Amino acid sequence: MLLAGLRDHHVHLGLVDTDAVGGSGLSAVDDLGWNLDRAKEWRRRGPGGLRVRVTGPFLTAPDGYPFGRSWAPPGGVVAIDSARTGVAVVEALADSVDLIKVVLHSGMPLLGDQELAAVVATAHRWGKPVVAHAEGEGQTLRALAAGMDVLAHTPWTERLSDELVAALSRGVVMISSLAIQLSDEESYAVAVDNLARFHRAGGQVRYGTDLGNGSRPPGLDLDELQGLVDAGLGVEAIMEAIATADQVPGWLTWSPQEPPRSTSEIVDWFATVRRCRADELAGELEGVAW
């Protein structure tokens, strides 16, 4: 079976072996937070021919998350201390990035509503979707109220109300990133329940792993795919969540196996998917399902 390219919608290339990611079955990734110089380099030419969309730095409150984290690179986190700063920072980034990333992480200093509004409005004027890292009680609601386009994670720190899930489903994209919660049974269950109700409400789900956070494998993460199954997504919805229209010239993404008929088959089926040169498949494509 020949496929469209596959995209991981949430990675941090600066924290992983980029050659391993570039040599995987993925065709495209979204890097959701790093310093602008490296981000521009990945955007210009991704490892192994990957198509890379980037946010550049995390935008957060002074001393907010992820300031102080050992993994955060110099220039990878920018403080927004006023609405005016928010406008200026987004305008400075706009020509070099595909999306804007903001952080709403409770337990540390938080962006105020005026700063959030300025960042979102400026990003939208430049045609840039805004991705929110929303962690902690009430932060997903704040993200929605501010007009965020994408949640970088399925919320795992609180069970969202049905009313909030319904509101999110009407225009916010939710990136899965379920497998990073596998070490905490309660957090995983909360995230799966939130994603399941969001999906049932008609919300748009995207496959993303937060690669670089912990020890998730480069390339396709079968645990993440199982998480989508656990959340009740069917075969078509999972394919839509991971597919991308971006195709690296000269490459094909394919599986020698027939398409999966049910979600009980889909994880094992994705284990057979690979990306390879078109000429490598000469003589093998005859009879392959299109």
**pLDDT > 90? residue 255:** no
- The one-letter code for the residue type at 98 is D
Tokens 């496959």 belong to 207
From the number of C-beta atoms within 10 Å of its C-beta (0-12, 13-18, 19+), residue 16 rates as middle
**pLDDT > 60? residue 58:** yes
Which letter, b or e, does each residue of 180-190 get, where b requires 16 or more Cβ atoms within 10 Å of its Cβ? Answer: bbeeeeeebeb
pLDDT of the residue at 254: 81
- 133-180 pLDDT, tens digit per residue, is 999 999 999 999 999 999 999 999 999 999 999 999 999 999 999 999
**pLDDT > 80? residue 280:** no
**pLDDT > 60? residue 216:** yes
**pLDDT > 60? residue 288:** no
**pLDDT > 50? residue 209:** yes
pLDDT of the residue at 286: 55
From the number of C-beta atoms within 10 Å of its C-beta (0-12, 13-18, 19+), residue 282 rates as exposed
Greater pLDDT, 284 or 73: 73
- Other CB atoms within a 10 A radius of the CB of residue 171 amount to 12
- Other CB atoms within a 10 A radius of the CB of residue 15 amount to 17
What is the band of 256 on the pLDDT scale with cuts at 50, 70, 90? Answer: confident
What is the band of 290 on the pLDDT scale with cuts at 50, 70, 90? Answer: very low
pLDDT of the residue at 23: 87
**pLDDT > 90? residue 257:** no
SS3 annotation, the chain: CEECEEEEEEECHHHCCHHHHHCCCCCEEEECCCCHHHHHHHHHCCHHHCEEEECCCEEECCCCCCCCCCCCCCCCEEECCCHHHHHHHHHHHCCCCCCEEEEEECCCCCCCHHHHHHHHHHHHHCCCCEEEEEECCCHHHHHHHHCCCEECCCCCCCCCCHHHHHHHHCCCEEECCCHHHCCCHHHHHHHHHHHHHHHHCCCEEECCCCECCCCCCCCCCHHHHHHHHHCCCCHHHHHHHHEECCCCCCEEEECCCCCCCCHHHHHHHHCCCEEEEHHHHCCCCCCCCC
- The one-letter code for the residue type at 228 is L
Give CA–CA dist 290/279, Å, rounded: 17
The angle formed by the CA atoms of residues 59, 61 and 62, to the nearest 5 degrees, is: 115
- The one-letter code for the residue type at 90 is V
